Structures are given as C-alpha cells and as structure tokens.
Chain A
C-alpha cells in the first residue's frame, strides 16, 4: 500500500501542473477585492471533458490564470445533456465568486422549456462573451446531391417529400432549423436522429444520410480532405472561415435562420458586486490576449461582432434570447 500511496502522491503532484510565476495585469489587479480569491475558482462546464465547450473553458482558464494570477479549476458537472449542471449553477452553486459557469446558449432552451419553474435565466448573470459556432449544413461531395446548394436541396425536398435524409439532434436547434425550412418552403425532409452533430457528420461520410449539420470543427477534417461541401451557415452574417458559404438567410431569403452556439461566462445571481467586477475584468483581459484569440481561432470558432463589446454583452445576449423565445412561442412550445 505504501508504494501505491507514493505513486498516488506523484499523480497528484503532476495533476497540480506546472505553476508559472504569473504577474497579474495591473488593470485586473486594480479591481481585486480584499480576501478574494483565497482558494481556486471553479469554472463549471456542464458537458463532458474534451468537447467544444470544455475546450473553450480550458483555454479560457489558462489565460485567466495568466492575467489574474489566480488558480482556476475546470470542473465538468455533466448529466442530462447539460441540464444537471445548469440546474446546479442556477440553484445550488454558492454565489460567492468561486463558481463561474462557462456555458453555451443551450442553457436558454433548458431554462425556457425544461426547467419547469425550478429556476430561470435570471438566476445566472452573464459576465463575458467568449466565442460562437454557427450551425452549418454540409453535404457529401459524392452521391445524388453533390454540387447542389441549400436552395436546390430544399426544392428537391419539396418535390419529393421525405426522401432527403438530414441528420438531426432531436429537441434542439438541429431540429428547429429543419422545422423552419420545412414550414417556410413547404418541403419535407427525412430527419434521422443522432446524439450529436459529430455522429451525423460520420453518417454523412458513410453515405447513411444526405445532409448533416454541424460546426466547423466537426467537419473541418473532411472539408480539407474534399469529402464534404458546406451548404449554408445559420449565422447573421458570413463567417470568416467559410467566406464562400452563404448564410441560410441569404440563400433562402429570410431573417429567422440563426442557430448558433454562443459561449459565455456567468456567475450565479447574488455574487457580490466587487467579485463579479473582478471576474469580469479578468475574463476581459484574457479575451483581449492575442494568444487566446489565436487559440480560439484554431479551434474553428468565430467572434460575433454583436457581442464582442463588453459593455453590450448582456443586451446582445438578451436579443438572441428574445429571438429564441419567439420561436418557441410561435411553434407552440412555450405558452
């Protein structure tokens, strides 16, 4: 048992990682409250380690540490497709500044449709915008639909209803956008359910669906290999990495086709103002660091101009919340 204990100690020491001697930014240090933080700050991620949300949080943690000199721990509180973690942040986490939620806008759907009054969006206060990923439709460069744009494919789904197989994730934006297109164009797709965007892309490459939906990072490898063709992005304007790909709004003529993952940081309601201001400043400093911007770029995300101004984050997010709420109301999901 002694050997075991010694080995465990080694693991522990390793896990603690190399602690760099970090000098905090004067801008951030200026706002540092007295007696805070005296222990590591937890970045709560509600999705499993290794996913897009986790990668965003871990990169952020690295640069917040650099700019504040504080120690950050990323904790994956998973379960229920994020719902368990969202409820934890809204109802259980202590509002003492030691818990920061690094979330995606999928929390809005949870709050509006699934929280059943146990918690609401006002329990979580945004303190910084991080990055965005636009839902993108991709088709295969082989098979009957190669070379077609999103407009032609929608037309085909109107002429031969129920024949074009689209990979979706049930009860989420993957499904909602298909629903919008079907309703507006009078088309009908065959929706094949998957547990996530990546699984749908795999099915596309394997010839088991005709259209897949996913984020840039999920299909980048296949795009470089010439296996897939992006059809349209569900963002308000074209994204840098896919300059030649139209938005759905452009291609289909509309304003409602905006479905993206927006990642941001929150603190539980009631977090003391001075600690909140300090955490906000630390995240801002990290987000201004060109190295972090570069690392985020490498993961294939983009920065939404509507949200990048720190003063406008809360208002900008609220605009998107409204947009989503209207969709739920119009489709009868929300009374």
Chain B
C-alpha cells in the first residue's frame, strides 16, 4: 500500500516539536482569521509568507496550509452570531445559522459547524491520501467544456437559493451577472463597462462586495434598531447539538464533504462555490424546504462541511501537479517556489517528505481545530451579551481593515461602502442577496468556459454535446429546471 507507506513517511516528518507547534499555531491563526469578518486567509497568508523563509519548506507549508483550513472552521462564528460572514465561504451559513442563534441555539449551530468541519476535513484528507494522483489526472482533463457544464449546474442550483419571490430572485441573479461583466473581456482583452476607471479594469472586487453586502449592510440594519441593547435578547438554550440535530445533520455533513471535495478539485471551484451549492442541494432534497432560512440545522451542517473539504480538494492539483486553482493555493505554490521547490507531476516522487508531510499534518490540524473550536463555542456565544453599540464599531473597523488588506487599494473601500448601502436598501425591499452573490462568483467562470469552448471548437456549440461529462451535467441541469418549474406550477395551480 503506497498510501500507508507514504502516510508513515509523512507522520515521521511531521511529528517533530517544531512542525507540531507550527501546525497548531497555524490552526489557531486560521481560526482567528476566520472569526474576524473581512480579514481572510489570503491576506493572512500573504502577511505570514516572509516568516516561512526562515523555516524548512515542510514547516512553512504546514503552517500556511493549516491557516487556510483553519479559516474555514472560524468562518462560521460571526455568520451564526452576528449574521456577518467571517469569510466569503461562510456567507450561506448566515442564512440558517443566524436564525438558529435568534432562537437561542447559537451553541448548537456553532457546535455542528465545528464537528461537521472536522468530519469533512478528515474524510477529505483521507480521500486525498488514497486517491490524490488519480484524482489529479481526472481534474486536469477538466477542460473548458466540462467546466461550462459544471458552472451551469452550479447556476441552476442557485435558483434553489431563492427564498422569497422567484421574480426578485431571478432579478438578483441577473444583476450578479451584469456586475461580473465589468472588467477585461476574457477573449479580446478589451476593457468593458469600466467607464475609463482604472480601478474597475480588474472587475469589482469580490471581497469588497461580500463585506459590503453582508457586513456593512447588516450593521446598518442593526444600528437602526439601536434601542435593542444586545444582539440577541433570547435566552441561550444549550451549547451542544441535540440528538435530533444529529439525526438531521449527519447526511448533510457527508453530502457536503463529498460535494466540497469534488468542487475543490476542479478548476474554478473552491470553498465559496462549494458552500453555496451544498446549501442549494440540501434545500432541494429536503422534505421540508420551507424550513430553510428559518433555522434549519442542515443549512449549517452541509455548507460548513463543504467549505472544509473543498480545501483538501483544492490542495490536490497544487501538490500533485503544481497547478493552483484559486488565489490561496497559488500563494501556497509561491511559498514553495521561494524555497526553490517547483511542484509538478513528479513532486510526490521527488519530495515525498513534503507531499506526505502536508497530508499528515492535515489529519493532525483537523484534530487540533476540533479541540480548539469546541471549547471556544462557549466563549463565542458569550459575545452575544456584548452590547451592540460596543460591538458594531469594532466589526465595522474589521470590515474596513479586511477589505483594504486584500489589494491595498482604497477604491475597494468605496465599493464596500456602496454595496453596504445597496445591501441595506435591497434587504428592506426583501430582495435575496445570496443568489446575487453566487451569480457574481459563477458568472465569470460561466462566461470564460463557454467562450473558450466555442473558440476551441471546430463545430461551434456542438462541442458541448461531444464531451460526455458536459452532456451529463447539462442534462442534470435541465432536469432540475424542469422539476422546479413543475413544482412551482403545482404550487400556484390553485391560484389560477
């Protein structure tokens, strides 16, 4: 068994005081980064990159990786407690997590998030241990047409994110698409919809949009109710998930783990997409979809598992092929390059110490994170007792710091503010913001993969029918849409 031998190598590398310490430290930093709204893993990794120069390559990589997955643990905290996502990957956790908190069940939501993250993290690292090289070979076959199929499937899933009026939801998806079109055209390299602003040439910064819509807007809404002294006046009921919670959650956790792992693996996917799609899937297959958005624990368990396993999934192309799929893994790759190491297909053979060392460290890191996060649940819940007038300036400050730290571009702060106000108004008018956001994330990928497919195809759009994987995903999308239309018809049948 190659995997077992490899894992033993890995553990022999990792089980040194320095590496254990760095793995724990990274987990702790990651958790904190995750908890702080706005401050994301990318900014944290960039900040800590110079520290790794002085470390052995494996130690540096272990620490950076643990910050990445640690952030996924912490991200749910403020989503649940304050309705402000700690990371873009925790936006969906707000939907039901915060409702749970309002019902006094913040502890259960945080508990299930931590345990779900642990299960997903461990399962996905196990899958990585056993199948990394084979999976990397599959992932690399994923060309533009396959990506397009996947993104369309993802977009169809976003329809399930709509909670209120279908018309308003579809409108928000359309707006997401329009805003994502700002920037540089993917095929001809020309600027479009930038109105001559240099700052718009790179498009609208995702982080600024997330923090504006979900952070600043939430603060604005809450400040309005200034009379309210604490965030939640409700008595906190129980810190731990109940047996009923477990029954409802274990399947979403497993599904989220699988889904997240796959979405992390393929180019264009990642923790953000994974969490959204997991939520949509849970809502779709639930027998009581009407409970979603009102404190359904499945809506916390699934996405929180998905964003964690997406991290392990996204590590595979980097470690097995040297191909980063998102900015965070690109940074991990950079950390290795600075050390004079260039991962490629032979990385596993040439540097088994690094390859298996990182995998082994991820097993340990997940255990650390569980041990760290479970006791913290009690502590975080106490945050709810802090008066809002004390809390909101701090959160707002963190929003500003986090947004600026990503690009060091003051323009992003204006974007954040603009989206904060827009988000506030849209909420008042009862527009869903989640479908907007996921459309904004997916739209560039949809456009790029479609246009690449069409350009590279000798037979025009037929290329989409010549690739089995694409056909499969497009067919699944069509079935989902038909089912949804059918159900809506049935629901509205009585009114017509």
A: which residues have CB within 8 A of B? 3-4, 7-8, 11, 14-15, 17-18, 48-52, 54-55, 58-59, 61-62, 74-81, 83-84, 87-88, 114, 116, 118, 163, 165, 169-172, 175, 190-195, 198-199, 201-203, 205-209, 217, 220-222, 224-225, 227, 295, 298-300
Q: Which residues of B are found within 8 Å of A62, using beta-carbon distances?
A: 50, 53
How many angstroms from the CA of A208 to the CA of B469 in the assembled complex? 14
**What is the chain B residue whose CB lies nearest that of A14?**
B51
A217→B205 contact, CB < 8 A: no
Contact with B335, one of A4, A50, A87, A201 (Cβ below 8 angstroms): A50
Q: Which residues of A are found within 8 Å of B29, using beta-carbon distances?
A: 7, 11
Say whether, besides A48-B330, A77-B409, A170-B186, A295 and B48 are in contact (CB < 8 Å).
Answer: no
How many angstroms from the CA of A11 to the CA of B45 in the assembled complex? 12
26 A/B residue pairs, CB under 8 Å, sorted by A: A3-B379, A4-B35, A11-B29, A14-B51, A48-B330, A50-B332, A59-B338, A78-B409, A80-B184, A118-B198, A170-B185, A170-B189, A171-B184, A171-B190, A190-B456, A192-B455, A193-B451, A202-B267, A207-B141, A220-B342, A221-B343, A225-B345, A227-B345, A299-B337, A299-B340, A300-B342
Contact bitstring B199-223, A, C-beta under 8 A = 1, else 0:
1111001000000000000000000
A15→B48 contact, CB < 8 A: yes
Say whether, besides A8-B32, A50-B330, A80-B202, A203 and B143 are in contact (CB < 8 Å).
Answer: yes
Whether B179 is near chain A, meaning CB under 8 Å from some CB there, is no
Whether B227 is near chain A, meaning CB under 8 Å from some CB there, is no
How many angstroms from the CA of A48 to the CA of B53 in the assembled complex? 18
**What is the chain B residue whose CB lies nearest that of A88?**
B409
Say whether, besides A58-B338, A83-B202, A198-B323, A221 and B346 are in contact (CB < 8 Å).
Answer: yes
Q: What is the minimal beta-carbon distance from B138 to any residue of chain A, in angstroms?
A: 10
Whether B140 is near chain A, meaning CB under 8 Å from some CB there, is yes
Question: Which residues of chain B (296-324) have a CB below 8 Å from chain A?
Answer: 321-324
Shortest beta-carbon contacts, A-B, top 4: A221-B344, A171-B189, A50-B334, A170-B189
| Count of chain B residues with a beta carbon within 8 Å of a chain A beta carbon | 68
Contact with B202, one of A51, A81, A190 (Cβ below 8 angstroms): A81
A193→B187 contact, CB < 8 A: yes
Say whether, besides A17-B50, A207-B143, A222-B344, A79 and B409 are in contact (CB < 8 Å).
Answer: yes
How many angstroms from the CA of A194 to the CA of B445 in the assembled complex? 11
Contact with A195, one of B42, B47, B186, B337 (Cβ below 8 angstroms): B186
Q: Which residues of A are found within 8 Å of B142, using beta-carbon distances?
A: 206
Whether B333 is near chain A, meaning CB under 8 Å from some CB there, is yes
Whether B263 is near chain A, meaning CB under 8 Å from some CB there, is no
How many angstroms from the CA of A241 to the CA of B330 in the assembled complex? 24
Q: Which residues of B are found within 8 Å of A118, using beta-carbon distances?
A: 198
Contact with B201, one of A49, A54, A81 (Cβ below 8 angstroms): A81
Contact with B346, one of A75, A206, A224 (Cβ below 8 angstroms): A224
How many angstroms from the CA of A75 to the CA of B46 in the assembled complex? 9
Q: Which residues of A are found within 8 Å of B28, using beta-carbon distances?
A: 7
How many angstroms from the CA of A50 to the CA of B336 in the assembled complex? 9
How many angstroms from the CA of A202 to the CA of B137 in the assembled complex? 11
Interface centre among A80, A169, A208, A209 (most CB of B within 10 A): A80
How many angstroms from the CA of A206 to the CA of B50 in the assembled complex? 34
Interface centre among B46, B51, B196 (most CB of A within 10 A): B46
Whether B9 is near chain A, meaning CB under 8 Å from some CB there, is no
Question: Which residues of chain B (30-70) have a CB below 8 Å from chain A?
Answer: 32, 35, 42, 45-51, 53-54
Q: Which residues of B are found within 8 Å of A299, using beta-carbon distances?
A: 337-338, 340, 342
B201→A84 contact, CB < 8 A: yes
Contact with A206, one of B45, B46, B141, B184 (Cβ below 8 angstroms): B141
Q: What is the minimal beta-carbon distance from A213 to any residue of chain B, in angstroms?
A: 15
Contact with A81, one of B53, B54, B184, B337 (Cβ below 8 angstroms): B184
B340→A193 contact, CB < 8 A: no
How many angstroms from the CA of A81 to the CA of B331 in the assembled complex? 17
Whether B458 is near chain A, meaning CB under 8 Å from some CB there, is yes
Contact bitstring B338-356, A, C-beta under 8 A = 1, else 0:
1010111111000000000
**What is the chain A residue whose CB lies nearest that of B197?**
A80
Whether B460 is near chain A, meaning CB under 8 Å from some CB there, is no
Q: Which residues of B are found within 8 Å of A205, using beta-carbon distances?
A: 140, 321
Say whether, besides A49-B334, A58-B50, A170-B188, A221 and B32 are in contact (CB < 8 Å).
Answer: no
B340→A298 contact, CB < 8 A: yes
Question: Which residues of chain B (375-422) have a CB below 8 Å from chain A?
Answer: 379, 407-409, 411-412
How many angstroms from the CA of A170 to the CA of B186 in the assembled complex? 7
**What is the chain B residue whose CB lies nearest that of A206?**
B140
How many angstroms from the CA of A14 to the CA of B344 in the assembled complex? 30
Q: Which residues of A are found within 8 Å of B35, using beta-carbon distances?
A: 4
Say whether, besides A191-B455, A225-B345, A79 and B323 are in contact (CB < 8 Å).
Answer: no
Whether B144 is near chain A, meaning CB under 8 Å from some CB there, is yes
Q: Which residues of B are found within 8 Å of A48, using beta-carbon distances?
A: 46, 327, 330-331
**What is the chain A residue whose CB lies nearest that of B350?**
A224
Whether B448 is near chain A, meaning CB under 8 Å from some CB there, is yes
Whether B452 is near chain A, meaning CB under 8 Å from some CB there, is yes
Q: Which residues of A are found within 8 Å of B184, using beta-carbon distances?
A: 80-81, 170-171
